[in-house]
Structure 1
Amino acid sequence: MFKQCTISRPVSTTGICLHSGKKSRIVLRPADVNTGIIFHRVDLHNIVDIPAKAEYISDAHLATVLQKGSVRVSTIEHLMSALHGLGIDNIHIDINSEEIPILDGSSDRFVDLLKHARIREQEGFKDFIKIINVVEISEGEGDNKKWARLEPYNGFVVAFSIDFRHPAISSTANFIEINISKESYVKNISRARTFGFIKELKELNSIGLACGGSFENAIVMDDFKILNEEGLRYKDEFVKHKVLDAIGDLYLLGKPLLGRFVAHKSGHSLNTRLVNLLLSKSDSWKVVRNNYKGNI
């Protein structure tokens, strides 16, 4: 049977937040069996604990946001992706602001931090959410239609397609299907950065958003080309970042997934709506143990 995992010792990092532009510090600490993933807003007079579960999702427009009462933790998706990809079940995350730092715009720095903390097995067995019936959600019509679906599968596979009418993106692969394991996640997904357009960045800045966005934490494009001097990390980095985001959003199920996630043009909003839709359909999933023969 697969064992639950946490980290062996506390580790920390500090970085700029994507939307506020301010510095934020997080501390990752070991947690006991069956604790799950819990964010702690330690900057408040009374520390507020927010579990990383779907019931606490309050917004997913430009980033995935958890909220308890009036207290929020935002831009959690890249850290959640690293935790899901590395198979970490239990961890405390202390944060001294509302937003997780963006670091390099991927989950690579979080992966390095977690490895530095030494991932260790615990005595409790790992439970999975296994998809037993298809659940699908969509929005829009025609060329603007977006959709996301969860299908039964004895493993964890992500299949994702994108359709950006931009020469720099359309010249790269617009589809990927990948069997997610620790090894495939670290090698093929974790270094894929978020991306955006210079004109959109200026528009967001004007309303107080994406104030921390830069060439250091995103792939930035004008109307024709990539502006980052170093170019892409993967030849299909755009679609791989969408996979990275989805892996993080899916971990808000509260347990690792056994199933196939298939999506077209999906983002945080649709991903998290699918998570909530699945949880509302108790005949479409079940909690299982020792039911996966693959490589976690």
Structure 2
Amino acid sequence: MDGFIATGTERRRTLKAAIGCVGVGLHSGRRASLTLRPAPVDHGIVFRRTDLGIDIPARFDLVFDTRLCTAIALPDQPHARLGTIEHIMAALSACGIDDLLIEVDGPEVPILDGSAAPFLFLIDCAGIQTTFMPRRSIEVLRTVRVQDGEGEKAAWAALHPSATPGFEAHLEIDFPSSAIGRQNLSLRVTEASFRGVLADSRTFTLAEDVARLRAAGLALGGSLSNAVVVDGPLVLNPGGLRHKDECVRHKMLDVVGDLALLGAPVMARFEGSRSGHALNNRLARALMADPFAWRWREASLAEPALSQRSEAVAA
């Protein structure tokens, strides 16, 4: 397991070879070069701003900004922030990658097509190396919940103890645009279900918000090639949606990426309504701040792989 997804292995993993790509930052609009490099055992996932020579570990407590993406920065070097890390973190978690150096030559990971699928492609091309070191997971022992607002329109997110190994998620979204509306998704998240259900779902926005976002210095690199744009009942992308519920699928993909910043698999059941990057990060912080809400679970390499048991339950 890694991030929080059962992967069929309980040993730490990295890539076999380095691999990279070039794209544009969704919010900065700047050209962005990305390189994934194998890392030693117990290195963890670390982002390196190669233009500044600064390393930033992929950790929930280093999240610096959650406006329309997840951005991290060292507390004493906020100028060296790195944004839009959630899609690549989701892909790495799905594939069980524990140790990796991610080099980026600017303030933002390239958005590529707005989903996690291109990052899965890079990982598959590089290949995965399983190491000798066992990994451990985070077992949720009691419910942790965070909320924003009151009443039926409140946004909230929660982690509950799970009776079975692995990670289950239920998410509801509700947008005024009739092209999105209210959508629900429940999923037992494994590498296979991530690849088949979540990975190719793209980030999205409302057409009415585009001018406001750009005036705020956001979405400067956004286009119909890397984001779904809806206007009332209309989907403005020439190819339409990839899935009729693509928006809730992408929001669950974001949950995967944001909670992957906990740095270990999470055995739990996630529930959320209207949750976004800010609440996802608050949930991670609330969990780790309560020593009675979780415990480390050491891997037992003599046991069957947790993902195999999880898939059997799902079947």
- Across the aligned residues of Structure 1 and Structure 2, the Cα RMSD in angstroms comes to 1.4
Instruction: Tell me which of 77, 94, 101 is aligned to 2:110.
Output: 101
Give 3-state SS (helix, strand or coil) of 2:110's partner: coil
Task: Output one character per residue of 1:18-68: Cα deviation in whole Å (capped at 9) or x when no partner.
Answer: 011111001100011111100011112xx1111001121111122111011
Instruction: Tell me which of 165, 170, 179 is aligned to 1:168.
Output: 179
TM-score, normalization: structure 1? 0.95
Task: Output one character per residue of 1:134-182: Cα deviation in whole Å (capped at 9) or x when no partner.
Answer: 1001010123300000011121111101111221113xx7111111111
Instruction: Tell me which of 203, 206, 209 is aligned to 1:194.
Output: 203
Distance (whole Å) between structure 1 residues aligned to residue 262 and residue 225 of structure 2: 31
Instruction: Tell me which of 228, 241, 250 is aligned to 1:241.
Output: 250
Could you tell me which residue of structure 2 aligns to residue 55 of structure 1?
Answer: 61
Distance (whole Å) between structure 2 residues aligned to residue 151 and residue 207 of structure 1: 37
Could you tell me which residue of structure 2 aligns to residue 293 of structure 1?
Answer: 306
Q: CA deviation at 1:289?
A: 2.4
Instruction: Tell me which of 65, 81, 92 is aligned to 1:83.
Output: 92
Letter in 1 for 2:122: L
Distance (whole Å) between structure 2 residues aligned to residue 158 and residue 182 of structure 1: 14
Q: CA deviation at 1:197?
A: 1.3
After the TM superposition, which of the residue ranges 12-21 and 226-235 deviates more from structure 2?
Answer: 226-235
Q: CA deviation at 1:290?
A: 3.0
Task: Output one character per residue of 1:163-218: Cα deviation in whole Å (capped at 9) or x when no partner.
Answer: 11221113xx7111111111111111100101111221121112221000100001
Distance (whole Å) between structure 1 residues aligned to residue 33 and residue 56 of structure 2: 17
Where in structure 2 are there 5+ consecutive unaligned residues? 1-8, 311-315
Distance (whole Å) between structure 2 residues aligned to residue 202 and residue 222 of structure 1: 13
TM-score, normalization: structure 2? 0.90
Distance (whole Å) between structure 2 residues aligned to residue 205 and residue 87 of structure 1: 36
Could you tell me which residue of structure 1 aligns to residue 229 of structure 2?
Answer: 220
8 Å Cα contact 2:177/2:230 also seen in 1: no
Could you tell me which residue of structure 2 aligns to residue 155 of structure 1?
Answer: 166
Task: Give 4+ residue runs of structure 1 displaced > 6 Å after superposition.
Answer: none
Q: CA deviation at 1:223?
A: 2.4
Distance (whole Å) between structure 2 residues aligned to residue 192 and residue 182 of structure 1: 15
After the TM superposition, which of the residue ranges 224-233 and 8-17 deviates more from structure 2?
Answer: 224-233
Instruction: Tell me which of 150, 166, 189 is aligned to 1:141.
Output: 150
8 Å Cα contact 2:28/2:107 also seen in 1: no
Distance (whole Å) between structure 2 residues aligned to residue 119 and residue 187 of structure 1: 19
8 Å Cα contact 2:48/2:103 also seen in 1: yes
Where in structure 1 are there 5+ consecutive unaligned residues? none
Could you tell me which residue of structure 1 aligns to residue 3 of structure 2?
Answer: none
1:28 counterpart = 2:36: yes
Instruction: Tell me which of 58, 64, 72 is aligned to 1:66.
Output: 72
Distance (whole Å) between structure 2 residues aligned to residue 190 and residue 23 of structure 1: 23
Task: Output one character per residue of 1:257-289: Cα deviation in whole Å (capped at 9) or x when no partner.
Answer: 111111000000000011011110011111112
Give 3-state SS (helix, strand or coil) of 2:248's partner: helix
8 Å Cα contact 2:49/2:103 also seen in 1: yes
Task: Report % sequence identity.
Answer: 37
Q: CA deviation at 1:127?
A: 1.1
> Size of the alignment, in residue pairs?
292
